[in-house]
Copies of this chain bind each other. A is one copy, B any other.
């Protein structure tokens, strides 16, 4: 049910079309929440029906049309309520750690490859998030700039600070995952090392 609030968050800045929002989900917000267009368009219609948004037909070119949504007072209120409420945490369901727990079933090279894939995946995320933090620091994020421009002066520091805080958390997490996978590689090397001296210490 977070999709709804991710959409509201974006629409607090300015009116947008479903396609605009979809594009944001492919880049900025997409770093914390992803959604395909096939989920976004119906949700926008539901949100309009629920009075959180209002849509408006915009002409586009000669014959083209698009539907631009702007947030209503009720929408702002719903978003604020969600922001002030508490989250319930989902039960753990983690394929990477599930596999790690039974890694003795994998061939040594396959086990190593799991760890390398884990590192590759999180290194790529890390790269994107670092870019994002740099963008925030340099003031080069269009969406954030529009948000800041619209916000009251005393709010701006907070807005930028919380964004940076968020990405720094994601970065720390990714770094942790990489460190873990590296420990995994070392462990695999150790466990599958050729025993040079044949003193299999039977305690």
Contacts and interface: CB of A to CB of B under 8 A. Distances in A.
Interface of A: 2, 5-6, 9, 12, 29-34, 79-80, 82-87, 89, 91-107, 110, 113-114, 117, 121, 125, 151, 155, 157-159, 161-163, 165-166, 168-170, 172-173, 176-177, 179-180, 183-184, 187, 191
A80 B89 CA distance: 32
Contacts of A85: 110
A84 B110 contact: yes
5 contacts: A83-B99, A97-B166, A104-B155, A162-B187, A173-B176
Nearest to A162: B103
A92 B34 contact: yes
Nearest to A124: B89
A114 B87 CA distance: 8
A120 to B, nearest CB: 10
Contacts of A155: 104
Given A121-B89, A165-B187, A179-B172, A94 B159 contact: no
A80 B106 CA distance: 7
A179 B165 CA distance: 12
Nearest to A31: B92
Contacts of A101: 9, 32, 162-163, 166
